[in-house]
Amino acid sequence: MALVTAEHNGITSSDSQIRYQRHSTSDSQDFASAENSNGALNGHVDRNRSHDRHDSSNSAVRVEIADLDERTYTTTGALRRCQQIVMQPYSALLTLVGWRSIGKDFVYPSTVLLRTCNIFYTMLVIGLQLYTFVYQVVACEGKLDINTDTQDPSTTAMPVSNVTTAWGPLWAPIGPAAHRRQCYHITTTYIVPAILHFAIYFTGFVHFRLQENEQLYILMEKVYLQNIPFSRNAMQATVTFNARCFLYMGILWSCLGVFVQGTSALAFGVTPSILFRVTWATYVLFALQLVGFLLCYLVWASVIVNYTTHCELLIAYINGIHVRLREKSIELRIAMHEILGSRESLSMLNGTIARMTGIGVLSNGELTIVGICLLVLNDARSPWVWVYRSIFPVTFGLALLFPLIQAARVSKTAEKLKQICFEMRVFGYKDSNQLELDSFLLFVNHASLRAKLFGVPINPALVMSLVAGVALTLLILFQMGVISGANIMF
């Protein structure tokens, strides 16, 4: 886009001057200004355009960011698109779980009505989550006791439906449970996960209410403003796509967690209410519990999505430094500044967000181990029980491994900087002398770019060793009969 401004103050059209001002470096084309024999015609056309646009001939057109075409791969357009399809839905997710004020983006966000709505909605969200954990203890939700919950469930079937499947009547198992029994191992099965969950929730409540997710915004702008020749557009598109996938996968994982609770009801029935003796009250309380479970899983998903998106942005930012160092298109001093910025962003990632993610990893790890043991020891013949026992460890295992994999990717990407520095030391780098290369190599070695959970640096070797160690331990316990199921498979 170019702005053409012509000044005519009683001078002939052949003396008119045409000035071109470049407004956008990405979408504009180069125009050449020259005076030729057709100056009179050009001056007449320029006078008409100037008169149509403004009353004053010296004014200029102001272009806002909103006027840019988002279909073009400009830096501003790509950043704005990422904010629209990733950050705005994520902000809505934070609002849904009570970590962001309702009406925060309004013109007048601090009205009395909005404050009242925020107070009541936050109390509602906390109350539903608290009710969910209390319901778990009362109803022995999930049947997670290894000693008593590996046999066929005893249920009182509702009137048999006419719709049948290969497994029998379709809705027969979902009737209220025939009897209420005593729950065991309440502390380790229900209370400890509840404490860990509320530790995550209140930490996130303070963090996001005070900081407004500024760390993620800052890192995203740094990544999109990074000057990478020939590959900037592809990098921006990849980061936007991955961040959007992480957000939607987190939401789908939350729905999968609610589906797990639904299969538990199909397998073991719905426990009757201790307050009401009517059947419909039992199902109403169970529906409220499912809503509470959805909120709990959305809280975990919000933390995991934030952490994994942070990791993905850091990976893209460090890869940008890799590319420019290999192309020798960046000075060592500027590279040291950007590596220092990566270290600062990684330090913020290893702060509150990493602590919240670590607590979630611990809770999901406990549920995964319990689910694997119940699957191995399962002696039930009901197909719904097998479906529930099979998808339970898979669901929480995904939430356990995904943050670990992303953290390991960050550490692995940072380690490549050292390899590039060794190559620079051997083959040289532009006009830098050996002393400068030695200083740069020493700086990178002491940068310590590692993602941490529980204060422990996470790298691919650690994750692979952890998975292999757990698998080998379970194999030995199965083989020795320490963990032996009632079926022929284990």
Same-domain check for residues 30 and 175: no
Radius of gyration of the chain (CA): 31
Q: Which burial class, exposed, middle or buried, applies to 192 when counting CB atoms under 10 A from its CB (0-12, 13-18, 19+)?
A: middle
Same-domain check for residues 181 and 281: yes
For range 469-477, the mean pLDDT: 83
Please give the structure tokens belonging to residue 359: 């607590």
Residue 30 pLDDT: 42
Is 485 contained in some domain? no
Residue 293's domain comprises 79-480
- Checking if the pLDDT of 425 tops 90, the result is no
Of 30, 63, 96, the domain-final residue = 63
For range 24-30, the mean pLDDT: 41
Angle at Cα 429 formed by Cα 426 and Cα 435, nearest 5°? 75
Same-domain check for residues 336 and 303: yes
For range 364-384, the mean pLDDT: 84
Of 17, 35, 63, the domain-final residue = 63
Is 452 contained in some domain? yes
Residue 433 pLDDT: 87
161-192 pLDDT, tens digit each: 344 444 444 333 444 444 555 677 788 888 88
Residue with tokens 């469930």: 153
What is the distance, to the nearest Å, from the Cα of residue 31 to the centroid of all Cα atoms in its chain?
Answer: 44
Residue 38 pLDDT: 42
Is 153 contained in some domain? yes
Residue 200 pLDDT: 92
Same-domain check for residues 182 and 213: yes
Lowest mean pLDDT across 14-28, 177-191, 340-354: 14-28
Is 70 contained in some domain? no
- Checking if the pLDDT of 52 tops 50, the result is no
Closest CA to 20 of 46, 39, 41: 46
Same-domain check for residues 42 and 159: no
- Checking if the pLDDT of 430 tops 80, the result is yes
Residue 218 pLDDT: 85
Q: Which residues are CB-neighbours of 30 under 8 A, at least 6 positions away?
A: none
Same-domain check for residues 45 and 128: no
Computed over every residue of the chain, the mean pLDDT equals 76
454: left (phi over 0), alpha (psi -120 to 50) or beta: left
Is 248 contained in some domain? yes
Number of domains in the chain: 2
Same-domain check for residues 158 and 303: yes
Same-domain check for residues 128 and 45: no
Same-domain check for residues 152 and 284: yes
197-212 pLDDT, tens digit each: 999 999 999 988 887 7
β 456-457/452-453 pair status: antiparallel
Tally the C-alpha atoms within 13 A of residue 110's C-alpha that lie toward its C-beta. 0
- Using a pLDDT cut of 90, give the percent of the chain over it: 22
215-272 pLDDT, tens digit each: 888 888 888 887 665 566 777 888 889 999 999 999 999 999 999 998 988 888 777 6
β-sheet bridge partners, residue 84: none
Same-domain check for residues 18 and 133: no
CB count, 10 Å around CB of 372?
19
Residue 293 pLDDT: 93
Alpha carbon distance 447, 222 (integer Å): 19
**Residue scoring higher pLDDT (293 or 159):** 293
Same-domain check for residues 10 and 109: no
- Band of pLDDT at residue 129, cut at 50, 70 and 90: very high
For range 76-102, the mean pLDDT: 85
Please give the structure tokens belonging to residue 36: 């030729």
Lowest mean pLDDT across 130-139, 258-267, 274-283, 454-463: 274-283
Lowest mean pLDDT across 28-42, 368-382, 409-423: 28-42
| Whether 271 contacts 136, CB under 8 Å | no
Same-domain check for residues 196 and 253: yes
Is 334 contained in some domain? yes
Main-chain dihedrals φ then ψ at residue 2, nearest 5 degrees: -135, 145
- Checking if the pLDDT of 291 tops 90, the result is yes
For range 286-304, the mean pLDDT: 92
Of 63, 94, 112, the domain-final residue = 63
**Residue scoring higher pLDDT (5 or 199):** 199
Alpha carbon distance 477, 371 (integer Å): 16
Residue 157 pLDDT: 39
For range 420-431, the mean pLDDT: 87
Is 486 contained in some domain? no
- Band of pLDDT at residue 57, cut at 50, 70 and 90: very low
Is 72 contained in some domain? no
Residue 150 pLDDT: 67
| Whether 365 contacts 336, CB under 8 Å | no
Residue with tokens 């490549």: 416
